[in-house]
Each structure stands twice: as C-alpha cells, then as structure tokens.
C-alpha cells in the first residue's frame, strides 16, 4: 500500500505591484470611503486536505498552500458598512502523487476569486481605525491539470457561499486586514482516486509593506 505524502510549504510574498499611493486620510474609515486595494502578505496561510484512494482505502494528508499572488479591495459607506469589491488569491502549483496517474502531475494556474460582489456587511467599529465584520462570499475556483507536459483546463468550481470574517486596523496612511474563511467538504475529485476537501484560508493584507 502506498500512502499519500503531502508536502508542506511556507507562503511567500506575493508578486502584485504595490497599490498606488492614496491621498492622506485621517483614519482607516475615512481611507475606505474610496475603494482601497490591499495586497496579500507573507503572513497569510492556507490549507486543503488531499485524499488518495489506495488498495487499503483512503489515505489523506493536509497540504499547506503556497501563495503566489493576490489582493483584496474594500470600501466602506457613510454608515460604516463594509463591502469587498474584489478578492483574488493565486496559488502555487499543487503536486498530485505520482501513483494517481503513474507519472508526475500538478494542479496549476490555481485561482480563487469572487464570483460576484457580496452585499454590504454590517461592520462594528470600535474606533475610526478598528473594525470587524462578517461577509458572505461566493468564490469561484479556476485551475488546470498538468500531466506529462500538457496542461488541460478544469471546469470552474463554484464553491458554496461561505462566511468570511474580516478585521481591519491601521491608520489613514496604512490599512491592514485579516480575512478568515473555511469551505468544508469536497472541493474537487477525480475518478474516485483523488479528492481535495476542506479548504481553509487565513489571509493577511495591507496597503503597504
């Protein structure tokens, strides 16, 4: 019986260009009066459970996802309600055990993005620089499978709506945020031999380094 061994990687800094400088604002709430772009940071983490069918049954392991790039854009209205207008998370290739196809394979061009802009979320502001909110988001997962030198796009996966916990901080010149979400259950499966489950994200983002 061949067990599934899933490698673990630390997340690396994203490659997005820095957000353009914004006009000076007195605090975070004032800064977010206009759409504000934040880059996903090296402190972000993510994981997914990979399961492989063997003669002895399912073997599973947790894969620490490697971030390649990503950003989020947030805006607050005059009442302090918060909306995410954009969210993009690009992941590094995910290795598939050789035993599944009998040769090396990877999931490549893996991206999570908003399927649609969610409605405004009620935010709780402890002061003008600190707030928390929970938004319900729908994410699309797009990717391709790379086998034996050839890439084949996979169908876009429309993940079920999930709650995204948001915490904001910083000041008018630098806004930072944390976003946490979990998509429980099956994300993708192939021929009853390979399955990806339980996607989890804990993201840090900032308007600057």
> What local confidence, expressed as pLDDT, does residue 17 receive?
55
Q: H or E stretch including 31? A: helix 28-31
- Strands 36-40 and 67-76, sheet pairing: antiparallel
Within 8 A by CB and 6+ apart from 46, the residues are 11, 64, 65, 67, 89, 91, 199, 200, 201, 202, 203
- Strands 194-206 and 175-190, sheet pairing: antiparallel
> What local confidence, expressed as pLDDT, does residue 16 receive?
55
> What local confidence, expressed as pLDDT, does residue 14 receive?
43
pLDDT tens digits, one per residue of 85-114: 999 999 988 888 777 777 888 889 999 999
> What local confidence, expressed as pLDDT, does residue 100 receive?
77
Tokens coding 9:
């990687």
Burial class (CB in 10 A: 0-12, 13-18, 19+), 81: middle
Question: Where on the phi/psi map is residue 192: left (φ > 0), alpha (ψ -120 to 50), or beta?
Answer: left
Domains of the chain: 28-206 (2.40.160)
Examine the pLDDT at 68 and tell me if it is beyond 70: yes
Examine the pLDDT at 26 and tell me if it is beyond 70: yes
Other C-beta atoms lying within 10 Å of the C-beta of residue 135: 22
């Amino acid at each position: 019986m061949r067990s599934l061994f899933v490698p673990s990687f630390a997340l690396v800094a994203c490659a997005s260009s820095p957000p353009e400088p914004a006009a000076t604002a007195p605090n975070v709430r004032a800064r977010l009066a206009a759409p504000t772009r934040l880059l996903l940071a090296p402190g972000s983490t993510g994981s997914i459970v990979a399961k492989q069918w063997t003669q002895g049954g399912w073997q599973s392991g947790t894969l620490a996802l490697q971030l390649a790039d990503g950003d989020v854009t947030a805006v607050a209205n005059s009442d302090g309600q918060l909306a995410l207008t954009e969210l993009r998370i690009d992941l590094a290739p995910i290795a598939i055990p050789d035993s599944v196809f009998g040769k090396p394979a990877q999931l490549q061009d893996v991206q999570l993005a908003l399927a649609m802009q969610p409605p405004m979320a009620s935010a709780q502001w402890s002061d003008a620089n600190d707030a928390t909110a929970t938004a319900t988001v729908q994410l699309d997962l797009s990717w391709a499978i790379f086998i034996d030198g050839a890439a084949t796009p996979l169908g876009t996966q429309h993940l079920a709506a999930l709650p995204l916990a948001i915490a904001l901080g910083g000041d008018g010149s630098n806004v930072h945020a944390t976003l946490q979400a979990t998509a429980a259950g099956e994300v993708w499966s192939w021929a009853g031999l390979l399955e990806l489950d339980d996607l989890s994200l804990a993201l840090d983002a900032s308007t600057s380094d």
